[in-house]
Chains A and B, each alone.
Chain A
Amino acid sequence: MSAEPRIGVYICHCGTNIADNVDVQQISKFAQGLDGVTISKDMMYACSGPSQQEIMVDIREQKLDRVVIAACTPRMHEPTFRAVLEQAGLNKYLLEFVNIREHDAWVHNDRDAATEKAKDLVRMGVARARLLRGYEEKEIPVGEEVLVLGGGISGIQAALELADADYHIHIVEKEPFLGGTMAQLGLTYPTLDCSTCILAPKLSQVERHPRIEILANSTVESVEGYVGNFTVTVSQKARFVTDACTSCDKCTEVCPVAIPNEFDVCLSKRKAIYKTFPQAVPAAYAIDFDTCLNKSNLLVCERCMEVCEPQAINFEMLQRTTRKLHIDTIIIATGAKPYDPSSIAEYGYGRYDNVITTLDFERIYAPTSPTDGDIIRPSDRATPKKIGYIQCVGSRKPNPALHQHPYCSRICCMISIKQALVIKSKIPDAQVTVYYMDIRAYGKGYEELYERARRAGIRFIRGLPGEIRENADKSVTFIGEDALLGRMYSNRYDLAVLSIGLEAQEDSRDISSLLGLARDTDGFFIERHPKLEPIDAPVMGIFLAGTAAGPKDIRESSTQAKAAASRASQLMRKGVFRKEALTAEIIEERCTGCKVCEEICPSHAISVDGVAHVTDALCAGCGLCTAACPEDAIDMRHYTDAQIIAQIDAALTEKPSEKVIVFTSYWCSYSGADMAGTARIKHSPNARIIRLLCCGRVKPEFALRALEKGAGGVLMATCHPGECHYERADLEARKQYELLKGILREAGIDDSRLAMEGVSAAEGKRFAEVINQLARKVTVLEPIPAKKLDIARQKLQEHKKDLQRVI
């Protein structure tokens, strides 16, 4: 590379998409006159094959060492043009992608204003391009060890797929037996297959597979490291029964302890030594030590040992053992929890005997149930003849005061339809009525099952009951409005079944902190992209499967599990993984070893011993460390301080008071701005967007620089609280924002020029509104006297000095 950069600038027409609203030829001419630009062209479709070729030829012939593409959103074609650079022999990080479509041509009516804005954006792009550097991406070796967290159907399917592909699987399951919720079901829809019958062969396969290790009765204590290099500490509770167990069942006959059986939703009792169901895996029984009489470590009861012929029972086992596993990829299959409707007072679950849930009912009609599959009602074990179902219990209720969930749980309509058909087949003269809001029978064979249910005489009444009342004979009455007939009902039933939804597991928060996963507002784990990357967790090397990522049925869980296996396999097959070079860089001469960066890093990527060291593989590029460092001893590769300042200066070259510098986060607000573009939501042309990975990168000095250069306003467009891609970097960003607000006020400056607003990736409309509001505000403000800005800068310096002193 020569000392002076040789930049190639390409302005794309995108057909008429950009050219209709932005004078692309003018921009191209303008760019030619900028410092460092060797060649500037406009192209009809820059992404087309011939155009890409042209760029490659230009790079070689003009000896270009940096390229600026002004076109659509980088989300579309940044990878395309990075590939072009690499093919032409340039490092891919020497590409600057300027968004003049979603952020400009598509959102402004005034062609002149849109063209002026495009000029600014290109000027910003060129200014940054001058300072770009190339980087080598690190290669991280990845082996063949997989951790599958959770032993339900999703975990089992993922484990089998990967084990058959010759990887080594460790299934960690917190219960003593695998199987999950699927093992508790009677039949599955729409085929009405026996659930255990289709599950058992899979369990068998898992148990005998030479490449699968089952760690039942186990939980994950800690996870350190990164993809290809995870260290997972697993804590295993003893089951006190060895593999010699033959499942003869003599022990349960003699065990004196009987407690409610959670597997049978407490409709039956089990012993302290038990197996949840005959086909459960591991085959050896387990002793629930908390209920066993020997729990105080004194051998007071030996009855089970006495009858155990293979002598498989061993109370000498250590209660807890810890193992450290070296793991390369992780699959999360921790499942979901059935909703407990006890908090819905008006339905009486938990108070009225004959109000049960659909899961309770599974454990009644299932062939392995405490009644051997006979359908009875709890109060008197009589055969119910009139049964009423209530749909959407725990789901589809946005009102937070109701303590239910706003989402649809997807499976409940089909579960009720299935159960209603089971009832009709076992009790032909039974009358089953389903009270619903909507029937969602969306999958393959589902609508047909719904039709079958209607034809079998099962009634569907639209209009959820307002309440259930218990009658003197323990039957129940539903009170509500029949919306189809337009009149009130007061209908008596022998048995009420609440069709409950799913919710996130109680330990989902713990699991998410252990692994650095993100959860949505409902507690389910979030995928990297809801449409295009639905399997990957945002953390590299971790994949999601099953209901842990949201309610779904067995077919969907199996599909996702196999997809997760495929993703993990792909990652491990190559043996290495290339990490993007968007990482923090320590300027060692300035580092004083104060450890502020180590503490603030949400990825635990920095360790300090005298000076700070960044583990590139772990660094996610949020930039919190750069903003927090009191010595300015950290910079961010590819998003350097100098590049950001250059963009600010470039944006404010002309008529600065009309412009608002907008710092955006690529994961949220930048995409929100894209969304405004895609939806063509027009807004005022004042925004000059600077793309960052996270607003945590924003140092107060940047905002101050913008104000010093005469900016009308500065906006930090962050995510919404709780939704940060980098854990809680948004909180740190807010701290820097509040700090600067305070300093401005102290310096006597109207702080309303500085704003912080949350805009998520889906909120195009909101982005437009925020820009409009800010534009209106700043155009009426008085310019800031330079003296006051000096005072502000001084105060910022003082603050930094104070920080240093404290440390």
Chain B
Amino acid sequence: MKLPFYPGCSLKAQAKNFETSGIAAAHALGVELVEIERWNCCGTVYSLTGDDLMRQVAPVRNLIRVQEFGENRMAVLCAMCYNTEKRASLRAQRNKEDLEKMNAFMDKEEDYRGEVDVVHLLEILRDEVGFDRIKDRVERPLRGLRVSPYYGCMLLRPREAGIDDADRPRVMEDLLGALGAEVIDHPYKSHCCGSYHTVDDPHLVARRAHAILSSITAHGGEIVALSCPLCKHNLDDRQELVAQLYPDFSKVPVVYFTQLMALAFGLEDAMGFDQHYVDPHPLLEEKGLLRKIKV
């Protein structure tokens, strides 16, 4: 199946490994993520004020890009982009008056009709590929790897945008289980990492990261899987600051769930484990997961 794909800015820069591993893993399952043309920055966050239509325009323009191609679905990997685009698409459907105003404003674009659905890759994997097929595709089961899923906020909340139950999500656990990993649950899996406060208050982020990561290690998790470039920055890159503030802190590698898929599928060139602050290689080698598979 072919799906129009919206990468968002980060996936072209700091989170390139997220994109590479995501596209490759999807491809291995017969899902072609086709990048849409002339996409723009979605705005990162969904505007919560009722009267600010200007901030709805950017995400809606991306939906028009999809509509222009005669498509009605847009797949996203970055959790923040997913949440923004999803909520913007729902708002455009709900509020016809505002949509008319936006269409009138975007006079150089065709009118957005409100028919594009925004989906996250995890939804596609769960609902259309199926975990059984994923399990079949695994060449190198992640045996012995104790992975803690970290959802963050944007995949689950608010409920209208959630890809799974906000209180008891299962999709990442099921995916990681299908990849053969040992899934380690922990109470902070959907607690906010601090998000954009990494700009104005890195210490606040470091405190959150410390709470989340030490809880993970306390429960036995040895690597974290997530779906957001900002969460990844806060939980991985910020570990330097965490270690400064908390001398007893032990570092934990943090990766995108798609990288683990690439690893399990044997897609050597797509794993991208070089773009991390805390290097995942030692742990993966220790688990024997980086040995080349004999074909």
Contacts and interface: CB of A to CB of B under 8 A. Distances in A.
A1 interface: no
Nearest to B188: A469
Interface in A319-351: 344-346
Contacts of A469: 187
Nearest to A343: B167
Contact of B159 (A345, A346, A401, A467): A401
A369 B2 CA distance: 62
B187 A345 contact: no
Contacts of B159: 401
Interface string A445-487: 0000000000000000000000101000000000000000000
A681 B165 CA distance: 44
Interface string B157-198: 001000001011000000000000000000100000000000
Contacts of B167: 344-346
Contacts of A467: 187
Contacts of A346: 167
A2 B28 CA distance: 94
Interface in A393-425: 401
Interface in B68-124: none
A19 to B, nearest CB: 48
A345 B187 CA distance: 11
Nearest to A470: B187
A467 B190 CA distance: 13
A469 B211 CA distance: 14
Nearest to A345: B167
B37 to A, nearest CB: 38
A469 B168 CA distance: 14
Nearest to A402: B167
Contacts of B187: 467, 469
Interface string B43-80: 00000000000000000000000000000000000000
Interface in B194-252: none
A401 B168 CA distance: 13
B165 to A, nearest CB: 8
A469 B159 CA distance: 23
A521 to B, nearest CB: 21
B221 to A, nearest CB: 15
Nearest to B168: A345
Contacts of B165: 345
Q: For chain B, give the interface size range.
A: under 10
Nearest to A399: B159
Interface in A619-638: none
B171 to A, nearest CB: 15
Nearest to A344: B167
Interface in A669-714: none
Contacts of A344: 167
Contacts of A345: 165, 167-168
Nearest to A348: B187
A82 to B, nearest CB: 52
A467 B167 CA distance: 11
Interface in A90-136: none
Nearest to A467: B187
A467 B165 CA distance: 16
B276 to A, nearest CB: 29
A345 B167 CA distance: 6
B94 to A, nearest CB: 17
A345 B190 CA distance: 13
Nearest to B159: A401
Nearest to B165: A345
Nearest to A401: B159
A345 B185 CA distance: 14
A471 to B, nearest CB: 10
B184 to A, nearest CB: 14
A197 to B, nearest CB: 42
Interface in B126-185: 159, 165, 167-168
B285 to A, nearest CB: 30
Interface centre among B159, B165, B168, B187 (most CB of A within 10 A): B187
Interface in A374-406: 401
A401 B156 CA distance: 14
A658 B11 CA distance: 65
Contacts of B168: 345
A346 B187 CA distance: 9
A566 to B, nearest CB: 47
Contacts of A401: 159
A467 B166 CA distance: 14
A226 to B, nearest CB: 47
B55 to A, nearest CB: 26
A200 B167 CA distance: 44
A401 B160 CA distance: 11
A259 to B, nearest CB: 28
Nearest to A479: B187
A467 B215 CA distance: 16
Nearest to A468: B187
A427 to B, nearest CB: 29
A346 B165 CA distance: 12
A344 B187 CA distance: 14
A401 B187 CA distance: 21
A344 B165 CA distance: 12
A483 B165 CA distance: 29
Interface in A212-267: none
Interface in B12-28: none
B162 to A, nearest CB: 10
A492 to B, nearest CB: 15
A490 to B, nearest CB: 12
A793 to B, nearest CB: 36
A480 to B, nearest CB: 15
A232 to B, nearest CB: 43
B119 to A, nearest CB: 21
A345 B165 CA distance: 10
B170 to A, nearest CB: 11
A435 B215 CA distance: 26
A177 B21 CA distance: 63
B149 to A, nearest CB: 15
A344 to B, nearest CB: 8
Nearest to B167: A345
A346 B189 CA distance: 12
Interface string A503-533: 0000000000000000000000000000000
A346 B168 CA distance: 9
A33 to B, nearest CB: 53
Nearest to B191: A467
A345 B164 CA distance: 14
A714 to B, nearest CB: 29
A266 B187 CA distance: 28
Nearest to B160: A401
Nearest to A403: B167
A344 B168 CA distance: 9
A344 B167 CA distance: 8
A465 B167 CA distance: 15
A807 B13 CA distance: 71
A346 B159 CA distance: 16
Interface string A354-381: 0000000000000000000000000000
B113 to A, nearest CB: 26
A467 B159 CA distance: 18
A469 B165 CA distance: 19
B188 to A, nearest CB: 10
B282 to A, nearest CB: 28
B260 to A, nearest CB: 25
Nearest to B219: A472
A20 B168 CA distance: 63
A757 B171 CA distance: 43
The 6 closest A-B pairs by CB, nearest first: A345-B167, A345-B168, A469-B187, A401-B159, A346-B167, A467-B187
Given A345-B167, A345-B168, A346-B167, 5 more contacts: A344-B167, A345-B165, A401-B159, A467-B187, A469-B187
Interface of A: 344-346, 401, 467, 469
8 contacts: A344-B167, A345-B165, A345-B167, A345-B168, A346-B167, A401-B159, A467-B187, A469-B187
